[in-house]
């Protein structure tokens, strides 16, 4: 289990002990028992070679605690835990503000530097019939020089949730994507997702004080 998976598992354990103290040990044991069973139902998307595979691990971990708790640890619980995890990193707002052009340019360089080779790797794997419906990346489909922009095409999380009855959890997991940008004074503009039936999810990160952010203030963001 990767470091992030372990951190999220600890959050589930803390949440369980806090909200369901009498049942906590039983829920945790059952979640641990269920995890490998639920994981066995997942598509093969390349394991650790796929830098985004941890997202599917977190979906399955959520499903395990959802089932182990008789559906009490549900979507709103996932959001509450995510908010608690990211609250610990609010101090970053004092140091990183992507409304400063040079900081946004730096983040843009880092993120594109990460996703461009990933996109090439995925296309190679998919062309050989590997990694199934993993996330394929379209870099900067808006052709914009503002912020960071990409689409993720296909979603193993949506596939897994749809096949195994966890579509009620998926929108909450998608919503956690909006928490991270706030740590650096960014806004995620996203108008469609696979969870809502689209073939892709769009991501456009802009400064939260930008004219673009203001233009999308009243638009439907998912």
**46 pLDDT more than 70:** yes
Question: Residue 71: inside a domain, yes or no?
Answer: yes
**Residue range 188-202: average pLDDT?**
93
The model's confidence at residue 220, banded by pLDDT at 50, 70 and 90, is confident
* Within a domain: 26: yes
Domain residues for the domain of 160 are 3-215
Asked whether residue 222 is assigned to any structural domain, the reply reads no
Q: Examine the pLDDT at 111 and tell me if it is beyond 80.
A: yes
Residue 219 pLDDT grade (very low, low, confident, very high; cuts 50, 70, 90): confident
Asked whether residue 14 is assigned to any structural domain, the reply reads yes
Tens digit of pLDDT for each residue in 48-67?
899 999 999 999 999 999 99
Hey, what long-range contacts does 173-181 have (CB within 8 A, 24 or more apart)?
A: 173/58, 173/59, 173/62, 173/75, 173/78, 174/201, 174/222, 175/79, 176/78, 176/79, 176/82, 177/203, 178/221, 179/82, 179/83, 179/86, 180/86, 181/205, 181/208
Is residue 150 a part of any domain in this protein?
A: yes
- pLDDT single digits (tens) 127-148: 999 999 999 999 999 999 999 9
Span 69-99, pLDDT tens digits: 999 999 999 999 999 999 999 999 999 999 9
Q: Is 41 inside any structural domain? A: yes
In a domain, 15, yes or no: yes
Averaged pLDDT for residues 204-221: 92
Residue 221 within any structural domain of the chain: no
pLDDT surpasses 50 at 217: yes
Asked whether residue 202 carries a pLDDT value surpassing 60, the answer given is yes
**Tens-digit pLDDT profile for residues 1-39:** 455 678 899 999 999 999 999 999 999 999 999 999 999
What per-residue confidence (pLDDT) applies to 4?
A: 65
Q: Which long-range contacts (CB under 8 A, 24 or more apart) does 78-86 make?
A: 78/169, 78/172, 78/173, 78/176, 79/172, 79/175, 79/176, 80/15, 81/8, 81/11, 81/12, 81/15, 82/176, 82/179, 83/179, 84/11, 85/7, 85/8, 85/11, 86/179, 86/180, 86/182, 86/183
Q: Report the number of distinct structural domains present in the chain.
A: 1
222 or 188, which is more confident: 188
């Amino acid at each position: 289990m990767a470091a992030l998976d372990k951190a999220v598992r600890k959050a589930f354990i803390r949440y369980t002990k806090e909200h369901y103290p009498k049942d906590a040990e039983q829920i945790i044991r059952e979640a641990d028992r269920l995890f490998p069973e639920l994981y066995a139902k997942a598509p093969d998307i390349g394991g650790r070679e796929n830098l985004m595979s941890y997202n599917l691990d977190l979906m399955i971990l959520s499903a395990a605690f959802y089932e182990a708790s008789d559906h009490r640890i549900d979507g709103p619980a996932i959001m509450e835990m995510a908010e608690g995890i990211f609250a610990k990193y609010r101090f970053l707002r004092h140091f990183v503000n992507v409304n400063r052009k040079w900081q946004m340019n730096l983040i843009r360089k880092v993120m594109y530097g990460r996703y461009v080779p990933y996109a090439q790797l995925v296309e190679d794997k998919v062309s050989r019939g590997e990694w199934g419906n993993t996330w394929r990346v379209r870099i900067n489909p808006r052709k914009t020089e503002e912020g960071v922009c990409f689409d993720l095409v296909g979603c193993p999380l949506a596939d897994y949730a749809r096949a195994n009855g966890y579509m009620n959890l998926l929108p909450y997991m998608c919503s956690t994507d909006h928490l991270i940008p706030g740590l650096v004074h960014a806004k995620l503009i996203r108008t469609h997702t696979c969870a809502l039936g689209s073939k892709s999810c769009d991501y456009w990160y802009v400064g939260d004080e930008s004219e673009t952010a203001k233009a999308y203030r009243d638009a439907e963001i998912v």
